[in-house]
Structure 1
């Protein structure tokens, strides 16, 4: 999995809320069309495991360290992309081993590090631990030797530094890792993207790192967006401002249309229609074609899409995004939060948003035409009619 063209992650930097005509007008502060803002992660199946088994070239001890790194990232709310960056960094720095240091130029670091549990001994400057961070007892400032040789603590310090890097989610792994590590050998990190993605996917119990949003960004920034939208008194908003070109319930021969198609331009920001939790984020186009290119009629699938569970077991679905969505499964999203950008992936004849609303749908995979409702009727009832200006 080599890095694709860098993409964008746009999100909420702040909210200004004012009462307006019975609804709420939200203004996202910061640069218009901002890219690379951290997206909350949330629950996935990736957790540190007992009885760790080897995975590919990595032995049980190395896999255990990777599991710790992933578990720490998950606990800190870092998206899966960050887990891959962290694991790739540790692969490059220490081959996923907790290293002491016996460099005679740093006798105190040597004394302390060799007295602590370690997997092997390194010699690079005064660097210790999984991430080869430089300690206070040497010439560094990452923390004490004891902290940096505690895998959980060293991972926390790495993620804290990563989150301070502006636009880190749209960087290549090499660029993001180098921004944190300031390595004298900056070109090595990208080589570890593929094995890191495979190992994190194995720990998460998924076939591909793309399934949990850990892959490389793959789309340009969306069209300029003034950051404002209107939420109704019930807390709903239009996912895009566009006309309805194909309504719900159309007879398509072998099925009925389960949503409304909104004819928004490619790159238009797609917003969460209401607050909720992401229960599905995936590409479901056939594997031979994938979702990182335009689809075509008859291909099948929603392409890149997101399902959000709202209060009252209501779900909304957003299909045919132009690239991997900006949110991960388990993420809590707020009304109006940007989920991704209009594209034409999957079973699609051109750029548009296919938008569905489902009731009595409490879990992932519970959506079908049988429990779908007309989005135009539903949204009008919620005070946020689609197909008309807000």
Structure 2
């Protein structure tokens, strides 16, 4: 492969910076010091590590930035961790992680994809996000790719004249993927050799507020507590969190409810709509002092189970629009004077805005 300087370095760095800034939207101001856990094989924060550290000794700043884009696109597409490793190894072989505008015949970009073979235009294929997306789309169509040797899976997509060449990059790709995802080993996420267990992901640990409370999401109030909804009063506030924002336990406690609340014929795995009824996927947490909090409209089954102890700031699930919902947001409730076994109702709810301000973790974007 060539060692000529990459093109589009600034574009790659800007793109990954913007992407990572977007990933940070919705994280609370007051977060807990202990690590919080995500769902098995769930999304994991992507970082742009400095060259020269663990997993990055062979790569310069632009190459690491390109690798982070490849990993981030895979995360967005919900590609299993093994696929992230295959993609990195492929780009290592094809372009040494350089976004080049030349190659064999009309090949260009990180994956040396060819416009003449229907991969896209030159402009598209020299956009790292587009190129990575095209690679993953093709990989996911390969039957049994997760159980193949890395080089066989890559070759099934690339149709290279040197089909064994990708295998030599597996160790480097494993190390770089783990560094970008901030895990000790890619095996923790099921990204290593076929058959590796799928371990838990991890959201960033975050400091707790002075009163032991944390914003469940960092987002503005879009509907207030007590609002007249015709057939009921609004027992919480709606916080305008985007889809898949991590929802965190507002304080330490024990999970008392973790389930779907929507008509059985609709369920919670499909977005709801106004008038459907129900909280969607939701979690209740009981805290000290007979205080309880509720978190509604998650996009998928919560990460926590009934009876589980959670820390302030621990991720309970991801925001969505399940149940009686007009769009992605978090419906958040606070209840006082609720002894064990007592139901959460509007009558024992309090205004979360005033309550959270009083405990040192004010709501807001």
| Normalised TM-score (structure 1) | 0.45
| Normalised TM-score (structure 2) | 0.47
